[in-house]
Amino acid sequence: MTTNDNAPSDDAAGGVDRPTNESKLERLAESHPSRVGVGRAGPRPRTQTLLEFRADHGEARDAVTTHVDDDVLAGLDLVAVRSRATSKEEFLADPDKGRDLPEEAASRLREACAPAPDVQIVVSDGLSSTAVEANVPELLPALLDGLDARGLDVGTPVFVEYGRVDVMDAVGEVLDAECCVNLIGERPGLATNESLSAYFVYGPERGKSTAKKSVISNIHRNGLPPVEAGAEVAAVLDEIHEAERSGIDRGER
């Protein structure tokens, strides 16, 4: 009887012929999403493995190069502005432009947003528009409910297109916010293109050191689910508000 080396397998580690310890290999393959136990066809990856790799790589590239859907933004009721980057290409080539706002964006925020809040929420596309679309619609309502339950004054939520982490410093400085959170799409990998992070800063101002900031990462359906993340982000903001500090000033390393 012959077998097809390129045939897909439903087994957790079905790509390896006659493994020394089959049960251990299966447990290892089931414990994380890495490509373990996929085997090879001679010196090459199996066809199914190669096709899955190319599909995941294509989704990762799409996450970086596409834009957050306008309907998603409209549903979130965010005040939308753009960083100093004028295109996706410029955003990727010159990260500093994604960390600041042009004067017209600052004027727009002053006109449309509540001034001097306890907490300013910023959403940025960062390096994954897919992460924003997949997580923020569920995370944001849970976050707003959590902040309301804690009696915190929340500013008008903002979306920054072509935004980097530190763009929250510029937004917070313009609106005189006490602290900011930036919900931003992270650099995608081959295991997921939907990972979002929440970065925090107390006393936002342009040029504030990264060491003065806190973060919750790995927010996605197979990591920290978005609804749970909303509750966790609200709790961290409350702690930062009470402590009047973030990052290494809170003892974080």
Quickly state the pLDDT bin for 12 (edges 50, 70, 90): low
Residue type for position 156: T
pLDDT at position 37, please?
81
Query: What DSSP line would sit under 81-96, residue for residue?
Result: EE-S--SHHHHHH-GG
pLDDT at position 128, please?
95
Reported as a single tens digit per residue, the pLDDT across 235-250 is 999 999 999 999 999 8
b vs e for 5-32, b when ≥16 Cβ sit within 10 Å of the residue's Cβ?
Answer: eeeeeeebbbbbeeeeeeeebbeebeee
| Residue percentage of the chain with pLDDT more than 70 | 94
Range in 59-63, 101-105, 219-223 with the lowest mean pLDDT:
59-63
Reported as a single tens digit per residue, the pLDDT across 23-63 is 888 888 888 778 888 888 888 888 888 898 899 899 988 88
Q: In a 3-state reduction of DSSP, which class is residue 108?
A: helix
What integer best gives the mean pLDDT of the chain?
Answer: 91
CB 171 within 8 A of CB 211: no
Quickly state the pLDDT bin for 18 (edges 50, 70, 90): confident
- Considering Cα of 97, then 101, then 102, then 108, what sign does the dihedral take? positive
pLDDT above 70: residue 3: no
CB 191 within 8 A of CB 34: yes
